[in-house]
Amino acid sequence: MTPRRGSTVGGYSYQWSLFVDWCAAADVEALPASPITLAEFLAENPAGDAVQLRRVSAINRAHLDAGHPAPGRVTSIRIALNSVRSNRTIRRAEQYKTIAARLPISGSTAALFGRRDAVLLVLAGAGLSYRAIAELDRTDITTDSGSVWIDGRHRVGIAPNCATGFEPASIWHRWHTVLQFSECYPSTTLLAEHMQRNTFPDMSGLPQRLGPVAVPIDRWGHLPLPVTALTAAEVGAVIARHRTGVSPLHTPRRPIIRPSDGADRSEPITAPELVAAKLDSGYYRSGVEARRRAHTALADVPDMVDDVEDRIEKLLERTLQLLDSSASGGST
């Protein structure tokens, strides 16, 4: 649909033509245009505020004359900005939930990290900043019918998802059990034994005590004593490693074997018959190279998506500031 020429030729023809030409070069729709397209146009064609406001007015007028919503109205920009933020929050939440569900919860030192990191991922997916997670206290978190509630100044609820089997309350209880056990029994060896067997005693009746949620763990599974909290930067580093698929290194502890009554109940071990396989001399090298190429090609994908969304958000915010600064003069 072509806008009526009476509105644009009089004072907006140049601004509208510039926008149409830019849209053609960028291979995007000029009419109707989205608020994101308008924001990108203004960013790639810098000018003073007065000129930019006139461009917005021209684009709005052309859209209104053609019967389309004006992409440069304050309300339109705010809706687009909220949509970008909402979509990113939803996408990240689902991504973090998927990662958290795959982390180990028992059997090794890595499971200790898995219990903690799953909680950090779920909290970040709920929209808490790294600083907020670092400052979060255990007493701020409660559970109710499978849901997790973050009280204090946050007032955030994280509900379970029966379709995917996501259980935020279980994820929190597993890590909270570790924190409570370490507080009552400050022994790394004893903690490792219970992690290995996943046989923690029932501590639900213990009083709730103050203490950070995000606690550092060294590579051997030692928790600090007295308990300290991770910094916001450290929380961000943990989440970034999981998001990019670069798992941190953990030094496994030797299995803990308790003495029995002395009877040897071990089964005789029969060595399997070895079958020699004829492999090409470059078999392993080519496999390693293929995995390296795949990792290099895909490792940056999550960050690229985040960068695009961050750029769009900044463009919309800049456009909104421009419109707000005009004090709603009626031209847009």
- pLDDT of 132 over the 80 cut: yes
pLDDT band at 23 (very low <50, low <70, confident <90, very high): very high
Do 213 and 230 touch, CB atoms closer than 8 A? Answer: no
29-43, 82-96, 101-115, 207-221: which has the highest mean pLDDT?
29-43
Lowest mean pLDDT among 79-93, 240-254, 271-285: 271-285
What integer pLDDT is reported at residue 9 of this predicted model? 46
Per cent of the chain over pLDDT 70 is: 75
Give the H or E element holding residue 158.
Answer: strand 156-158
pLDDT band at 264 (very low <50, low <70, confident <90, very high): very low
What integer pLDDT is reported at residue 278 of this predicted model? 62
What integer pLDDT is reported at residue 173 of this predicted model? 92
Of 288, 170, 303, the closest CA to residue 241 belongs to 303
C-alpha to C-alpha distance for 39 and 321, rounded to whole angstroms: 11
What integer pLDDT is reported at residue 33 of this predicted model? 92
What integer pLDDT is reported at residue 8 of this predicted model? 46
C-alpha to C-alpha distance for 232 and 41, rounded to whole angstroms: 35
Do 57 and 332 touch, CB atoms closer than 8 A? Answer: yes
What integer pLDDT is reported at residue 269 of this predicted model? 42
Show the CA angle centred on residue 329, arms to residues 86 and 23, nearest 5°.
55
What count of other Cβ atoms lies within 10 Å of the Cβ of residue 302? 16
- pLDDT of 194 over the 70 cut: yes
Q: What amino acid occupies position 291? A: R
| pLDDT, average across residues 121-142 | 90
Residue 306 vs residue 117, higher pLDDT? 117
201 DSSP 8-state letter: P
Q: Which residues contact 25 (CB under 8 A, 6 or more apart)?
A: none
**Average pLDDT score, the chain:** 79
- pLDDT of 235 over the 90 cut: yes
CA-only gyration radius of the chain, Å: 28
Residue 307 vs residue 52, higher pLDDT? 52
pLDDT tens readout for residues 212-223? 999 999 877 788
Of 90, 51, 62, 50, the closest CA to residue 4 belongs to 62
What count of other Cβ atoms lies within 10 Å of the Cβ of residue 310? 12
What integer pLDDT is reported at residue 319 of this predicted model? 87
- Token pair, residue 157, equals 């609820």
C-alpha to C-alpha distance for 166 and 50, rounded to whole angstroms: 51
Report CA torsion sign: 241, 242, 244, 247.
positive
- Token pair, residue 317, equals 């915010």
pLDDT tens readout for residues 152-178? 666 788 888 887 888 999 999 999 999
Alpha-helical segments (H) within the chain: 5-11, 13-26, 35-44, 49-65, 74-102, 109-125, 130-135, 168-184, 188-197, 232-243, 283-298, 301-325
C-alpha to C-alpha distance for 116 and 176, rounded to whole angstroms: 9
What integer pLDDT is reported at residue 37 of this predicted model? 92
| pLDDT, average across residues 144-149 | 87
| DSSP secondary structure of 122-156 | HHHHTT--HHHHHH-BGGGEEEETTEEEETTTT-E
Backbone φ and ψ of 142, nearest 5°: -130, 165
What integer pLDDT is reported at residue 288 of this predicted model? 57
